[in-house]
């Protein structure tokens, strides 16, 4: 028996829709895309949490350094998109500011 319950945020249909969207995006690029969803963000700034998760998942180890993490904290209504340096070199600072 686990002391922690895993919260399901999406229906099976919604999960499949997310999976399909990620697969579609990955087919059009050489990059890796992951979606990480949790209830609350442990930090004030969601991008800090996204960076922590990105590193824990070792997403920086892609050959072209072109992985992207989409982070969502549902109850805190926070979202962050974090792209590795290969993506940043392609799109620049202005892209992330929009």
What is the structure's pLDDT at 5? Answer: 61
Count of helices and strands (H, E) across the chain = 3, 3
CATH number belonging to the domain at 35-97, selected among 3.10.310.50, 3.40.250.10, 1.10.1060.10, 3.10.129.10: 3.10.310.50
pTM for this predicted structure: 0.83
What is the structure's pLDDT at 31? Answer: 87
Domain layout of the chain by residue ranges: 35-97
Distance CA 23, CA 56 (A): 22
Would you give per-residue pLDDT tens digits along the chain (98 residues)? 455 566 788 888 999 999 999 999 889 888 899 999 998 888 778 999 999 999 999 999 988 899 999 999 998 999 999 999 988 888 888 887 76
What is the structure's pLDDT at 90? Answer: 83
């Amino acid at each position: 028996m686990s002391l922690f319950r895993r919260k399901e945020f999406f229906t099976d249909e919604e999960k499949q829709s997310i999976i399909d969207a990620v697969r579609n995006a990955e087919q059009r690029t050489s990059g890796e895309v992951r979606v990480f969803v949790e209830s609350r963000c442990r930090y004030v700034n969601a991008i800090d949490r996204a960076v922590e998760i990105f590193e824990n998942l070792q997403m920086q180890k892609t050959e072209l350094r072109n992985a992207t993490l989409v982070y969502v904290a549902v109850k805190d209504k926070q979202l962050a998109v974090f792209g590795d340096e290969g993506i940043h070199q392609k799109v620049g600072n202005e892209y992330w500011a929009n």
